[in-house]
Copies of this chain bind each other. A is one copy, B any other.
Amino acid sequence: MALIVQKYGGTSVGTVERIQNVARRAAKTQAEGHQVVVVVSAMSGETNRLLGLASEISKTPNARELDVVVSTGEQVTIGLLCIALTEMGVKARSYTGSQVAIRTESVYGKARIESIDDEAIRADLAAGNIVVVAGFQGVAADGSITTLGRGGSDTSAVALAAALDADECVIYTDVDGVYTTDPRVEPKARRLEKITFEEMLELASLGSKVLQIRSVEFAGKYNVTLRVASSFDDGPGTLITLDDEEENTDMEKALISGIAFNRDEAQVTIKGVPDRPGIAAKILGPVGEQNIEVDMIVQNIGRDGTTDFTFTVHRNDFKKSMDVLHGLVTQLGGGEVEGNDEIVKVSIVGVGMRSHAGIAGKMFTALGEEGINISLISTSEIKISVAIDEKYMELAVRTLHRAFELDKSESDS
Binding site for B on A (CB under 8 A): 16, 19-20, 50, 53-54, 56-58, 61-62, 64-69, 71-72, 75-76, 78-80, 82-84, 86-87, 92-94, 96, 98-99, 120, 143-145
Instruction: Check if B65 sits within 8 Å of A94, measured CB to CB.
Output: yes
What B residues does A96 contact at CB under 8 A?
Answer: 68, 145
Q: Given the interface contacts A50-B76, A98-B98, does A86 sit within 8 Å of B65 by beta carbon?
A: yes
Apart from A68-B78, A99-B143, what 9 extra A-B contacts exist at CB < 8 Å? A16-B53, A54-B79, A57-B83, A62-B83, A62-B87, A62-B92, A65-B83, A69-B80, A96-B145
11 A–B contact pairs at CB < 8 A? A16-B56, A50-B76, A57-B87, A61-B86, A62-B87, A65-B78, A65-B92, A66-B79, A68-B82, A68-B96, A99-B143
On whether the beta carbons of B62 and A82 are closer than 8 Å, the reply is yes
Q: A83-B69, A143-B99 are in contact. Are A20 and B75 (CB under 8 A)?
A: no
**Contact A83–B61 (Cβ < 8 Å):** yes
Closest 10 CB pairs of A and B: A69-B79, A68-B79, A72-B72, A62-B86, A65-B82, A58-B87, A65-B79, A61-B83, A16-B56, A65-B83
The answer for the CA separation of A84 and B55 in the assembled complex, in Å, is 10
Which residues of B lie under 8 Å from residue A93 when comparing CB positions?
Answer: 64
Shortest distance in angstroms between A210's beta carbon and chain B's nearest beta carbon? Answer: 29
**Chain B proximity of A154: nearest CB distance (Å):** 22
> Across the interface, which residues of B come within 8 angstroms of A67, CB to CB?
79
When A16-B57, A20-B57, A84-B57 are in contact, do A72 and B62 touch as well, CB less than 8 Å? Answer: no
Number of copies of this kind of chain in the complex: 2
- Known contacts A72-B75, A86-B58, A98-B98: A53-B66 contact under CB 8 Å: no
Choose among A66, A78, A83 the residue with the greatest number of B CB atoms under 10 Å from its CB. Answer: A83
- A124 → chain B, closest Cβ, in Å? 11
The docked-state distance in angstroms from the alpha carbon of A154 to that of B75 is: 24
Contacts of A50 in B (CB 8 A): 76
Contacts A72-B72, A72-B75, A75-B75 given: A80-B54 contact, CB under 8 Å?
yes
Q: Which residues of B contact A58 (CB under 8 A)?
A: 83-84, 86-87
Do residues B98 and A83 form an inter-chain contact, with CB atoms below 8 A? no
Q: With A and B bound together, what is the CA distance between A80 and B64 in angstroms?
A: 11
In the assembly, what is the distance between CA of A52 and CA of B260, in Å?
44
- CA–CA, A71 to B143, complex, Å? 17
Q: What's the nearest-Cβ distance from chain B to residue A21, in Å?
A: 12
Contacts of A54 in B (CB 8 A): 79-80, 83
Query: How far is the CB of A187 from the nearest CB of chain B, in Å?
Result: 39
Which residues of chain B have C-beta atoms less than 8 A from A82's C-beta?
62, 64-65, 68
Q: Which residues of B contact A64 (CB under 8 A)?
A: 82, 93-94
* B residues in contact with A19, CB < 8 Å: 57
Q: Given the complex, which residues of B lie within 8 Å of A94, measured CB to CB?
A: 64-65, 68
CA of A69 to CA of B71, assembled, Å: 12
Query: Smallest distance from the beta carbon of A333 to chain B beta carbons, Å?
Result: 48
